[in-house]
């Protein structure tokens, strides 16, 4: 069974640009969560999607947005990039809301903003 | 908001030694999770705890859900070089969001 896949694995952008990251959950998983990981702040929750609906949102500015498609694949978008957005962005999937605790993480997308 | 304090930040040990790390919360949690992350990979779930006082093992790893529901610890016995990585605790309280500790970086010298 394939794990969670994230594309691209590495990305370099400049300030002011926007970026879209993609996540494909494990087959059969319908819940997708996104996290930002930085050395200083650790892992911080961005948002969670289930059945194409955003169910939870972390404390990030509106420049961070996401969506989920009918096949459960999810994308997150960051507009007007800032230097502080440089981070590892992790996606995690779980079968459904009741198994939210048993999330499986992807390898992440390393975003560097210059 | 909820915060987790994970300690120690880093550990340098000799192969064969036992390791202990813990997390404390400013509020009550209903679930505690422990993850391990290796370079270039996402975190991998090691142990999940759902009841206060629960003690669960996964091979050489043992974790406990504190009685106060505000803390948890992870022990690794007889460490080996492949135990190297960053260990994270995570907890969930009243909201459905998972809150993560900042990690304990473990280095094992052969």
Bridge-based pairing of strands A109-113 and A42-50 is unpaired
End-to-end CA distance of chain A: 37
Query: Is residue A99 a contact partner of residue A83, using CB atoms and an 8 Å limit?
Result: no
> How many alpha carbons lie under 13 Å from residue A65 in its C-beta half-sphere?
7
Taking the Cβ of residue A53 and every Cβ of chain B, the question of whether any pair is shorter than 8 Å is answered with no
Q: Which two tokens stand for residue B48?
A: 């999940």
- Here the tokens at position B12 are 């340098």
State the CB neighbour count (10 A cutoff) for residue B43. Answer: 27
**Mutate which: B97, B101, B102, vs A, most A CBs within 10 A:** B97
Find how far residue A81's CA is from the centre of its chain: 16
Inter-chain Cβ pairs, chain A and chain B, closer than 8 A: 53
Tens of pLDDT, residue by residue over A91-112, are 999 887 655 567 899 999 999 9
What is the model's pLDDT at position A78? 98
Q: What is the mean pLDDT of residues A66-92?
A: 97
pLDDT tens-place string over residues B38-94:
988 899 999 999 999 999 999 999 999 999 999 999 999 999 999 999 999 999 877
DSSP 8-state symbol, A79? -
State residue A79's pLDDT score. 96
Q: Using alpha carbons only, how large is chain B's radius of gyration in Å?
A: 13
* CA–CA gap between residue B29 and residue B16 (Å, rounded): 32
Among chain A residues, CA nearest to B47:
A102
Residue-level pLDDT at A7: 97
**Segment B24-36, tens digit of pLDDT:** 998 899 999 999 9
Kindly identify which residue of chain A lies nearest to residue B102, measuring between CA atoms.
A42
A-chain residues within 8 Å CB-CB of B40? 107
Beta bridge partners of A23: A6, A74
CA pair distance A49, A63, nearest whole angstrom: 17
Rg (CA), chain A: 13
pLDDT tens track for A21-75: 999 999 999 999 999 999 888 899 999 999 999 988 889 999 999 999 999 999 9
Q: Which of the pair, A5 or A100, is modelled with greater confidence? A: A5
Best of A39, A98, A101 to disrupt the B interface (most B CBs within 10 Å) is A101
Question: Does the pLDDT of residue B8 top 70, yes or no?
Answer: yes
Give the DSSP H or E segment for A109. strand A109-113
């Amino acid at each position: 069974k394939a794990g969670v896949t994230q594309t691209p694995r590495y990305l370099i952008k400049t300030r002011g640009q926007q970026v879209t990251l993609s996540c494909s959950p494990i087959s059969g998983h319908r819940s997708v969560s996104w996290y930002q990981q930085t050395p200083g702040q650790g892992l911080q929750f961005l948002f969670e999607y289930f059945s194409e609906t955003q169910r939870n949102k972390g404390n990030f500015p509106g420049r961070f947005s996401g969506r989920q498609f009918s096949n459960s694949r999810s994308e997150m978008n960051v507009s007007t990039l800032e230097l502080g957005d440089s981070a590892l962005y992790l996606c995690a999937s779980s079968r459904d809301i009741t198994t939210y605790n048993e999330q499986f993480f992807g390898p992440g997308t390393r975003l560097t903003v210059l | 908001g909820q915060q987790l304090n994970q300690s120690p930040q880093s550990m340098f040990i000799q192969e064969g030694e036992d390791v202990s790390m813990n997390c404390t919360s400013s509020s009550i949690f209903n679930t505690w999770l422990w993850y391990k992350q290796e370079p270039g990979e996402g975190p991998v779930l090691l142990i999940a705890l759902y009841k206060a006082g629960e003690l669960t093992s996964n091979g050489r790893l043992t974790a406990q859900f504190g009685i106060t529901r505000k803390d948890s610890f992870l022990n690794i016995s007889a460490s080996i070089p492949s135990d190297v990585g960053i260990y994270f605790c995570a907890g969930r309280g009243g909201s459905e969001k998972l809150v993560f500790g900042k990690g304990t970086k473990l280095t094992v010298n052969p």
